[in-house]
Each structure stands twice: as C-alpha cells, then as structure tokens.
Chain A
Amino acid sequence: MTVAATVPTPQAANPKPHRLPDGRWHRIEIIFWLLPLAAFFLLSGHLVLGSQILIVALFALSLDLILGYAGIVSLGHAAFFGIGAYTAGLLAVHGWGEALSGLLLAGAMAAVAGYLVSFLVVRGEDLARLMVTLGIGLLLYEAANKAAFITGGVDGLSGVTMWRLLGVFPFDLGGKVAYAYSLAVLFLLFVLMRRLVNSPFGLSLRGLREGGKRMPAIGAPVRRHQVLIFTIAAGVAGIAGGLLAQTTQFVGLEVLGFPRSAELLIMLVLGGAGRLYGALIGAALFMVAQEYLSGLNPVYWQFWIGLLLVVVVLFARGGITGAAEALYTRPRGKGK
C-alpha cells in the first residue's frame, strides 16, 4: 500500500484493479484442497460416497466451463458423461481393464461427440440450445436403451473388471484406491482447467458471456472459441463418466438420463457458476444432502431440492460462493 500511496495511479483509487488474473494459488485454495486429502485419512468409512462426490464434482466442473464461463446453457450434458462411462465400461468388459488408458479413451470419445454436437449448439439462441442439448441427451438415452445387446439396456452394464491401477493397486471394496484415483484425476484436471480459465482464451470466453455481440467487434473468433470450450467440457465430462464406470465397476442407463443433467445444473447453481470452486462445493453439498435426506424419503428430497432451487434463483443468485464473495469483498471496497 505504501507504493500505491506515493504513486497515485488509477489502480490506487480502486482497491481491486482489473488485470489479468495471475495463476497464484490463494491460501484458501490450498486449505480447500487439503480437505479431501484429510478426508481420506479421517473419514475412511465413507470413501465410497467420497469418490462419488469427487466424480460428480469433476462432472460439475465440466458444466461450469460451458455454463459459467462461456454462458452456454445445456440440459443434456449427461450425454457426454454417459458416453465416457460406456466407453470405459465396455472397454473393461471386453478385456482391457487398464484404468488410465481407458479413462483417456473415454475422454477422447466424449470430446469427439462434443465436437460434433457443438456445431449444432453454437448456432442457436438460448432456447434452441436448450432444445438441441436436451434432444441429444434424450436421443442418446433412447439409443443406449434400445441397443441393449451392447449396453445392457435398463439392466445396466455389469461385468466391468478392472486391472490393478498402475499395475500395483487393486480396486478394493472399501474404496481407498478408487478415492485416491478419483482425487488425483480431479485435482490434475482442476489445475489444467484453472489454468485454462485464467488464460487469455478463458478471458475471451467470459467476454462472450457478458456481451456476445461485442466480441466479434474486437476480433474474437466467437464460434471457434465456443466449439473449443464445448469440446473440452465434453471431454472432461467423459473422463468423469469413465471414472464412475471404473470405480463402481458398473454402468447404469441413468448415467445418460435427464435427471442427471438437471441435478448437475442444480449443483452448479447451488455452489455458484463461473468460479470453478462453486462447482466443487455445490457437488459436495448436494451429494451429501442427497445421501442423507433422500434416504429418509425420496419424494420429500425432490420437493426440498425444488424449493431450494427456487429460493436460490429468487434470492441468492451466485449461489454459495457468490454469497461468500459478497461477504468477503463488502467491508473493504463498498460493492465491487
């Protein structure tokens, strides 16, 4: 602050100047990432739920890329999750149980699908996008349902047998290896995504979200950026799906279902879109709440989640991380 006081620059008047985000990790972020690590040792009885949370968190992150950063509304993101899950699952069923290559292939398949779909998605407005993503999700669901000779249909794909992870660690019933594996994949991809959204490319995505008509004027290739981010997001969703298939050693038809896409949106909004951490927090809270509340009565659970959604939209736009950010910044610089 002493430098700012002696040299009165525009930045000095504004305590939070607009500048390119640096990639530095904040203290809170480091503490945040120590939590799942601590959970591995302290909550070792709940690791199965834990790895589910990590996987869903990764899936939510992928939606955050297109929804929170690029502003593309999707109601069919589960399609890519499902493609990844079936890719990884089928690979293992047919005799290739190596986890990492299966995961990569799951991501690649989903990314290819995402690339093809993205051309339909980027051309429309919100309503058309909603319909196209919804339609493609439903199409895939129907396809997987009808192609029971490949996917197992409503019975699901069972008989997924994985080899030892990295040739050393066998997947155990307690879920220790599954948890560590999921956490490692999540963290690695998170670091990459964090880098991505803080890059000039990430900034121009935010520009698209805020003012789609102005970005072409400064020479940003709008369509190409949207196609690229959609493809990346689809790939990440595919990896999340692959993780689910490998760690649970089962693929159910509901990986492709509309409820999965809708719940994903709910998690993201609950946590706060466009912040990456919102996706993680929202997914964790949603999954924990679902685990304990839907056990009591699934109907009430659906009612409360609906009510929560309405309340968040009406009164708490920005979700949990949005509220936290507002609390954090208010005492310092009055508003923004």
Chain B
Amino acid sequence: MLINFAGILFDGIAYGSLLFLIGIGLSVTMGLMNFINLAHGAFAMLGGYVCVAAMTRLGFPFLAALPVAFIVTAVAGVVLERTLYRRLYQASHLEQVLFSIGLTFMAMAAATYYWGPGQQPVQLPGVLRGQVRVLGLDLGAYRLFLIALVIVITLALVWLVAHTRFGAQLRAAVDNQQAAAGMGIHVNRIFSLTFALGSGLAGLGGALGIDVLGLDPTFPVKYMVYFLLVVSVGGAGSIRGTLVAALILGVFDVAGKYYVPEVGAFVIYALMVLLLILFPAGLYGRRA
C-alpha cells in the first residue's frame, strides 16, 4: 500500500513536471502581457509533431529531436507574436479568448490534415525504456528522466529570471510596463523573447509528453483545461506558483484516476473549482 502510494506520488510528480513545463509559458504570457492565450496547447502540440516528424522523416534520435522541437516552436511563437498576438494586447479578454480559440481550431485542423487523426507513436531510446530500481521502488526510467530534466530547466529559469539582465528587465516589465518602458527597457522585445521562450518550452513539453500525454489533433483542447488550471491556480506570472500548482494537480489527477477511477476526471475539476473559490487570484497571485 505504502509502496503503491510512493509509486503514484512519483507518477504524479512526473506528470506534474510535464504540466509545469508546458504551463510556465502560458503563465508568463498571462502575467506579463495579460493575455489569455487558449492556443498555448497548440504550441505544445506543434512541438510534439515536430519531434515525431524529425524522428520519422529525418531520422533524428529522440534526444536530438527535442531541441529541434524547442527551436521550431519558439520560432513559430515569435512569428505569431510579431504578426498577430501583438495587435491584441490591448484588446478585451473576450477578444483574446476568441482569437486564440480560432488559432486552436486552425492548428487542430492543420494537424489532422498533415498527420491524420490518430495517435502518434514515439520511439524512446533504449536507455529511457523500462524500470530503474531506486530505494526498493521500481521507477519508470523515462519518468525519472522527465523529472530530472524539468528540475534542470526550472533551476535554469530561476537563474535566468533572478540573476540575469534579461530577468531583471522581465520582472520590471511584469511589475509596471509603463515605468519599465520609461526606464529605457525595450518592453516589446522582452515580450517577443519571453513569448518565444514560453512557446519553445511548451513545444519541448509537448515533445516530451508524447509518451505520457499522447499526441493527436485534439491535444490542445483536451489539455487546455489542465494548462489553464495550472496557471490560474498557481497565479499568473509566478514560477513558484506554477510549479506548486502543477505538482498538486499532477499528483491529484494520477491519484484520483488510480484510486477512484469511476469518478474519473471529476476529481480534478472539482479540485479546480474549489481552489479557485478559495484563492481567486491563485496561490501566489500577483494581482489581487
């Protein structure tokens, strides 16, 4: 029972770290640009498909396909930000929601057109397959790899935001856009870079998640709720909040599906409504 519980906790954390990786970009776009981007899942899906395409059509190994997924999605993010998203920063939330639903629909239709409606398979390298025995527990090697990678990325992000010039400018722009612009910070450029980074991380998350979340054209809608949930529960614009929320949701979702499969996704939606009632601005919300 206890071993079982530890296993579920582990799976939940692996799942949660994936949610964090994808959600962090959304959190930053919401915190920084105050933009509700429902199309964020589409970037994750793009990363997944790029990864699959790089592996099957170009013959890349899995680990080499991951950076490709990151870069392609980041570039796509920058292009869309420069051409379309930018026009809507001042628009109402409703318009942002509609715009990003429109983008999501287009992405889903395009994915069906190019790759078909089925699930995409992924060939993991031998090292990452199977189980590893740690402290008497059989842990999935791939999930272990996932957690390790997300820890590294999180530390890198914290370092980036807390100790670099770019990070300082980013924090300034989040706190007060006008004052930051007045101090000579290129807020627009910060926006573009941040958007690229956020979409790239989503793409990376999508690629890493093929084995855990699956990959098919309904991906953006299927997981949209989870990403939004991570952000709204964690509080937009906060790395720590997003991480905590992602882990909570990951563990609860896995535990709920394991212990009470008959209620299924009920657990997670009920948890979300409850958390939103208790913390309307998120666990670590910046905006009251």
Pick from B6-14, B99-107, B197-205, B246-254 the stretch touching chain A: B99-107
Partner of A126, one of B93, B99, B113, B273: B93
CB <8 Å contact, B109 and A146: no
CB <8 Å contact, A265 and B101: yes
Partner of A128, one of B97, B107, B221, B276: B276
CB <8 Å contact, B36 and A120: no
Pick from A9-17, A29-37, A295-303 the stretch touching chain B: A295-303
Chain A contact surface mostly? helix
A226 → chain B closest CB, angstroms: 15
CB <8 Å contact, B104 and A146: no
Pick from B15-23, B156-164, B263-271 the stretch touching chain A: B263-271
CB <8 Å contact, B262 and A310: no
CB <8 Å contact, B98 and A266: yes
Q: Range of interface residues on chain B?
A: 35 or more
Residues of A within 8 A of B269 (CB): 135, 138-139, 142
Chain B contact surface mostly? helix
Q: A313 with B273: in contact, given A127-B36, A142-B266, A299-B109 (CB under 8 Å)? A: no
Residues of A within 8 A of B102 (CB): 305-310, 313
A150 at the binding interface (Cβ < 8 Å): no
Partner of B225, one of A128, A138, A312: A138
CB <8 Å contact, B98 and A265: yes
B116 → chain A closest CB, angstroms: 10
B210 at the binding interface (Cβ < 8 Å): no
| Chain B proximity mask over A13-43: 1 for CB below 8 Å, otherwise 0 | 0000000000000000000000000000000
B90 → chain A closest CB, angstroms: 12
CB <8 Å contact, A313 and B99: yes
Q: A124 with B276: in contact, given A138-B265, A146-B263, A302-B108 (CB under 8 Å)? A: yes
| B267 to chain A: closest residue by CB | A142
CB <8 Å contact, A136 and B273: yes
| Chain B proximity mask over A297-327: 1 for CB below 8 Å, otherwise 0 | 0011011011111101110010000000000
Q: How far is the CA of A265 from the CA of B107 in the complex (A)?
A: 19
CB <8 Å contact, B225 and A306: no
B67 → chain A closest CB, angstroms: 29
**Number of A residues with CB within 8 Å of any CB on chain B:** 42
A73 at the binding interface (Cβ < 8 Å): yes
Within 8 A of B (CB), among A261-277: 262, 265-266, 269
Q: Report the tally of A-B residue pairs with Cβ distances under 8 A.
A: 121
| A138 to chain B: closest residue by CB | B269
Q: How far is the CA of A67 from the CA of B92 in the complex (A)?
A: 12
CB <8 Å contact, A314 and B228: no
| B107 to chain A: closest residue by CB | A306
CB <8 Å contact, A314 and B272: no
Residues of A within 8 A of B287 (CB): 125
Q: A127 with B236: in contact, given A73-B93, A142-B264 (CB under 8 Å)? A: yes
A132 at the binding interface (Cβ < 8 Å): yes
CB <8 Å contact, B93 and A134: no
Within 8 A of A (CB), among B254-288: 262-266, 269-270, 272-273, 276-277, 280-281, 287
Residues of B within 8 A of A266 (CB): 98, 101
CB <8 Å contact, A131 and B229: yes
B132 at the binding interface (Cβ < 8 Å): no
CB <8 Å contact, A314 and B106: no
B232 at the binding interface (Cβ < 8 Å): yes
| A129 to chain B: closest residue by CB | B93
Partner of A73, one of B97, B221, B264, B276: B97
Q: A303 with B106: in contact, given A127-B36, A136-B273 (CB under 8 Å)? A: yes
Partner of B112, one of A67, A299, A306, A313: A299
| Chain B proximity mask over A105-138: 1 for CB below 8 Å, otherwise 0 | 0000000000000001001111110111011101
Q: How far is the CA of A199 from the CA of B88 in the complex (A)?
A: 33
CB <8 Å contact, A314 and B99: yes
| Chain A proximity mask over B83-123: 1 for CB below 8 Å, otherwise 0 | 01001100101110111011111111110110000000000
Within 8 A of A (CB), among B17-45: 30, 36
CB <8 Å contact, A309 and B273: no
CB <8 Å contact, A146 and B228: no
B243 → chain A closest CB, angstroms: 19
A47 at the binding interface (Cβ < 8 Å): no
Q: A128 with B95: in contact, given A135-B269, A306-B106 (CB under 8 Å)? A: no
User: Which 9 residue pairs of A and B lie closest in terms of their CB atoms, listed nearest first?
Assistant: A306-B105, A309-B102, A303-B109, A306-B106, A126-B93, A310-B102, A302-B109, A313-B99, A306-B102
Given A262-B101, A313-B102, 18 other A-B residues pairs in contact with their CB atoms under 8 A: A120-B273, A124-B280, A126-B36, A135-B273, A138-B265, A139-B269, A142-B266, A142-B269, A143-B266, A146-B262, A146-B263, A146-B266, A258-B221, A302-B106, A302-B112, A307-B102, A313-B95, A314-B84
Instruction: List 27 A–B pairs whose Cβ atoms lie within 8 Å, in order of A's numbering.
Output: A75-B97, A120-B273, A127-B30, A130-B36, A131-B229, A131-B276, A132-B273, A132-B276, A134-B225, A135-B225, A142-B265, A146-B263, A262-B101, A265-B98, A266-B101, A300-B109, A303-B105, A303-B106, A306-B101, A306-B103, A306-B104, A306-B108, A306-B109, A313-B95, A313-B99, A313-B102, A314-B99
